[in-house]
Amino acid sequence: MSLEIILKDAVVSRAGRRLLDRVSWRLAPGARHLLTGDNGAGKSTLLALARGEIWPDQLPGGGFAGERTYIVDGHATMSPIPARARIRMAGAGLRDRYRAMGWNVSAWLVVVSGLTDSPLPSGRMGQAEEAAAREALADLGLERLAGRPFLELSQGQAMGVLLARALVAPPLGAPGRAPEWLFLDEAADGLDATSRRTLLDSLERLGARGLGVVLASHHDPGLEGCETLHLEQGRVVALPAVSSHGAHGPDASSADAAHGSASDPASAPAPIPCGPGGPEPVAVRPGHARPAPVLELQDASLVLSGREALSGVSWSVRPGEHWLVRGPNGAGKSSLLKLLGGDLYPTSGAVRRFGLPEHASLWDLRERMGLVSWEGQAQWPEGFSVEDALVSGFFGSHGLYDRPTPTMLQAARAWMERLGLAALAGRPMSTLSQGQARRAMIGRALAFDPPMLLLDEPLGGLDRRARRRVLDLMDALAAEGRQIVMVTHNAREVPRCITHVLTLERGRVVSAGPLAP
């Protein structure tokens, strides 16, 4: 049983834009490939083409622009139908689709849907299928999530469930088959270090059994034996040779130089300390009163679907402080930001913001805080443009319920220019790559000039150049007087402006205090 995929001079265009330009690629059975390129280079489109979700351009006189051939058990075919069941996929795009469609089913049901290559379960679904789903989750250390509603999971937990969906094998005697190819599109996005190691161990184990793997990533995944294909503006370009754990992509070293390279420990900033041995709060000198908090949680707890997401959290952000929030997947980091932003209310305890009444209106809160989150990135109306998205920040909505003023448009365009989005102003948000959409979310959070930024994995999906640009931007914003509360799992992707660290575990504060000098 084997599947080989061959692309030759394939061309894919959409809305007059060429997304792939004469791409040739051969995926031999059991091979490992690393697919690299800047945001918008065509990586996700290439995966969709190879899997048979889209076709090459149709020519005016008939036929297609380029060739796509599947060798299925020794038999060649142009049809993707016999191949699709053998190719599983997981990535940020599928995660965002669940969010956009509001599919809030239990995690094990999401995993079961992988058996039929449908977003929701269909066909036979009994005890054997549930057991297969739970086993796939257990293989990734996620069995505790089986009964949790998918849309209430953290970003990393949701991605882990989708990885289990891609890896689930049918029960013995049931129809279907285990995957022969696994396509992962930024699938490590949002995973903590333990989850990333578990994923790599699973890929190594399955690779030894003949599973082929394609990883589209802006980070070196650490998977040995990968053949690299690099895209620039939809074209395959040659790359200089790199070590198995080196940086991938042109200008990789210079792109990371400003904030250190994740592949070069000597040049990277030291990891942020966390855990019980983390930094202690600075003592206040006698006679020097500390300024009143800008944001404050007082013994705040939060219960979601009968589960305590935050428990007795007391913590504050004072003027001039910039906080990094850390912890494993499911620790409560995103819930904390939603609580601060007013999207959630505490089950008990209190949340105080900017000296406002505890039950201040959502509008009063949103004009003071800019939020970047993966949930918001998935919720744009059809046809909503990048410029519209940035302007919507002024309205605190994912739509425009009034005509933008010239001042709003001017501010939005200035931020698009600063974030490298000016050329995409008229593009629908739904057509952007993950990294491009994330930059638009950052622009939306900044367009109305809020004094506080709540950033949940703001660098997720960004290529190296974009990460450097955003890190530099965050340092500049802090220098201008804005405050930052940021969630990330990557200790080497932290702006220099960060002054304090909060570490959460299972919804509780483990440590909180300033960074060591």
pLDDT of residue 118: 87
pTM over 0.85: no
**Choice between 378 and 409, residue whose per-residue pLDDT is larger:** 409
Q: What is the mean pLDDT of residues 360-386?
A: 86
What domains can you pick out in the chain, each with its CATH number? 89-179 (3.40.50.300), 295-514 (3.40.50.300)
Q: What is the mean pLDDT of residues 411-423?
A: 94
Q: What is the mean pLDDT of residues 211-225?
A: 88
pLDDT of residue 174: 65
For the cut 90, the answer to whether the pLDDT of residue 294 exceeds it is: yes
Tokens (6 digits) for 321: 């402080």
Measured between alpha carbons, how far is residue 144 from residues 168, 173, 304, 375, 503 in Å? Answer: 16, 27, 15, 22, 22
| CA 252 – CA 38 distance, rounded (Å) | 11
Q: Categorize the per-residue pLDDT at 189 as very low, low, confident or very high, splitting at 50, 70 and 90.
A: confident
DSSP code at position 64: B
For the cut 80, the answer to whether the pLDDT of residue 175 exceeds it is: no
Q: Which tens digits make up the pLDDT trace of 100-120?
A: 888 999 999 999 999 888 888
Q: What is the mean pLDDT of residues 7-21?
A: 94
Q: What does pLDDT average to over the chain?
A: 86
For the cut 70, the answer to whether the pLDDT of residue 253 exceeds it is: no
Q: Categorize the per-residue pLDDT at 245 as very low, low, confident or very high, splitting at 50, 70 and 90.
A: very low
| CA 212 – CA 210 distance, rounded (Å) | 6
Kindly provide the b/e burial profile for residues 282-311, where b requires at least 16 CB atoms within 10 angstroms of the residue's own CB: eeeeeeeeeeebbbbbbebbbebeeeebbb
By the 8 A CB rule, do 163 and 183 touch?
no
**Range picked from 168-172, 431-435, 501-505 for highest mean pLDDT:** 501-505
pLDDT of residue 36: 93
Q: Categorize the per-residue pLDDT at 176 as very low, low, confident or very high, splitting at 50, 70 and 90.
A: low
Tokens (6 digits) for 3: 């599947």
Q: Categorize the per-residue pLDDT at 280 as very low, low, confident or very high, splitting at 50, 70 and 90.
A: very low
pLDDT of residue 196: 87
By the 8 A CB rule, do 37 and 44 touch?
no
Residues 6+ apart with CB under 8 A from 21: 11, 233, 234, 235
Residue 171's closest CA among 115, 120, 121, 107?
115
State percent of the chain over pLDDT 90.
61
Q: Which tens digits make up the pLDDT trace of 452-497?
A: 999 999 998 888 889 999 999 999 999 999 999 999 988 778 999 9
Task: Say which range, 76-80, 220-224, 288-292, has the weakest mean pLDDT.
Answer: 288-292
For the cut 90, the answer to whether the pLDDT of residue 515 exceeds it is: no
Q: Categorize the per-residue pLDDT at 289 as very low, low, confident or very high, splitting at 50, 70 and 90.
A: low
Taking only Cα atoms into account, the Rg of the chain, rounded to an integer number of angstroms, comes to 23
Helices of type H across 215-259: 252-256
**Choice between 264 and 177, residue whose per-residue pLDDT is larger:** 177
